[in-house]
A and B are shown apart, each in its own frame.
Chain A
């Protein structure tokens, strides 16, 4: 099985770079954890959305995205959800400023015959400051980087639901 772990965000825009920091931590720990034969796990760093992000998922069975989230929760809170649990804004009036939503991009790619993961999981970290250029994370966000990496590594050990169904 091929899995892609994507750190999303802008590494020079404060807490928006948390996805990259978590991905770096995962990359450091990954060799010690994964040794199964036939498994491929790629860790990449992107600042993309919509069609561009979808194009990076082509050929993978599973994807885990790590991104900065703006929520009403405490800064540093970690949210784990499936992509289809996120709102798909492009179904409404004003969609992206420049692109389509990732959900629509994936549907578009699949209708074009591209092999795309059935399972896209999203790990979001609630941020404090994402509008100021800065390479450092805010303390509550920096504090959870290792924990978020641990969560992603744990997710990686679990077999995604659609694969379980295939085996039944």
Chain B
């Protein structure tokens, strides 16, 4: 007897990207709704637990970037205890974080964002994946991707104690330093990572920038929104992933505000829509004006492209050269075209690799002074880092024993929920006319949200391990006209 087993991806954990498109009476797009399931209750779950547990517990929020949650929670825990970790501890955390960035950005470019360009957006869907890339460009690339990931994991394990879900950051610093032998190994791997990042940028240059069709696609109007941009910057307003102040520029590139992590509540508010559990953060001092762009709308974006737009440059020399080329080629700053995020991500990859080498060659990096013992009564603290997918904020309140009484988290992708909503609508508008749904709709929508690399489900660990997409097009009366899925 044959038994048919139906595995329903609609309820998979990773998040089912469900898009409802409503048409008006003329058959053109009236509105779109991009809904995703939210993981609920984390902020309640942590109440009653010691603040020291947060760096361990929060890296379980997300299967993709546990390192980001580990760092944000550790920084918040430092703040809760009013303790400033030694310089070496901060550098080791940032070194781990730089290696993690190299791994994450590499995976995104070669496995996700890159295939659309390397294979071409019109290539058969079955070829637009990492296998297609290595078949087209060569096995050598695959080997480099694996090597980059291995090096990244190795550094995370050396400093963080485990390959994934690091466990060494504690209030006041880090539990262990590195030996001189480890330092040398990490330096060697970092120098290789710089070469790999340069190779990746050259690949992008040859394949994408050398092709007028791709450049036109990047610069086209479909993926363009004039929003505010957010990113963490150092004291010189250069991009930093681990520490600094949050800087926001307006759609004309003018600085709108720069704030310390503990001031975030003065600047960010969250808008609620009745059709989704997820909230839409916006700039409080501009205001919520709906899903529109422009200088009067408080919608902002927090992605690799945003970080470049919100800064005055990169803090390392090779990445700075690429930063200058980026804006010279695209013609203006800020760059509003969302597909340019893929290029920005590679510039960040180079910065992360250079920063890795910079940190590991610092004379104090192998110092045993890696922890400052907390002595003050714990109260409240905020930690902000740049997760690969956007600015990540952890905020905890504790009692005098350090037991969490309240928590608030704004995760990377949440910042971009409103811009993704707008990109989805614009892609739909460009492909649906008078009730005719262009078959390229799924692909255009997919390219829109891939640029943001959304992390809604915050867990890609389970099988089948994918994020299915379903689009329903409805007429003016709400009746479904067409349902598109990426698997049939």
Contacts and interface: CB of A to CB of B under 8 A. Distances in A.
Interface of A: 8-13, 16, 19, 46-53, 55, 65, 67-73, 79, 81, 86-102, 104-105, 107-109, 111-112, 114, 122, 124, 130-134
Interface in B91-109: 107-108
B289 interface: no
A51 B111 contact: yes
A68 B462 contact: yes
Interface stretch (B38-46, B194-202, B228-236): B38-46
Contact of B164 (A11, A48, A68): A48
Most buried by B among A13, A51, A122: A13
B125 A98 contact: no
A110 to B, nearest CB: 10
A150 B487 CA distance: 34
Contacts of A50: 111, 460, 465
B367 interface: no
Given A9-B462, A47-B461, A133-B39, 11 more contacts: A8-B463, A48-B460, A55-B149, A70-B8, A70-B12, A89-B9, A98-B107, A100-B130, A101-B464, A124-B463, A133-B42
A44 to B, nearest CB: 11
Contacts of A16: 13, 459, 462
Given A47-B164, A68-B13, A72-B6, A89 B468 contact: yes
Interface residues of B, number: 65
11 contacts: A12-B60, A48-B460, A73-B5, A86-B463, A87-B487, A88-B464, A96-B460, A96-B467, A100-B112, A101-B465, A108-B130
B5 A99 contact: no
B457 A97 contact: yes
Given A47-B63, A86-B7, A93 B442 contact: yes
Given A94-B442, A112-B139, A99 B8 contact: no
Contacts of B266: none
B443 interface: yes
B14 interface: yes
Nearest to A19: B462
Given A92-B486, A96-B467, A132-B41, A111 B139 contact: yes
Leading 4 A-B pairs by shortest Cβ distance:
A49-B465, A93-B486, A89-B466, A133-B45
A19 B7 CA distance: 17
Interface in B446-488: 446, 453-457, 459-469, 486-487
A104 B139 CA distance: 15
Interface string B1-35: 00001111111111101000000000000000000
B37 interface: yes
B129 interface: yes
B465 A131 contact: no
Contact of B149 (A51, A70, A131): A51
B215 interface: no
B131 A97 contact: no
A59 B143 CA distance: 17
B462 A49 contact: yes
Contacts of A55: 146, 149-150, 153
A91 B486 CA distance: 9
B285 to A, nearest CB: 32
A47 B460 CA distance: 8
Contacts of A70: 7-13
B208 interface: no
B107 A99 contact: yes
B207 interface: no
B134 interface: yes
Contacts of A81: 5
Contacts of A92: 125-126, 486-487
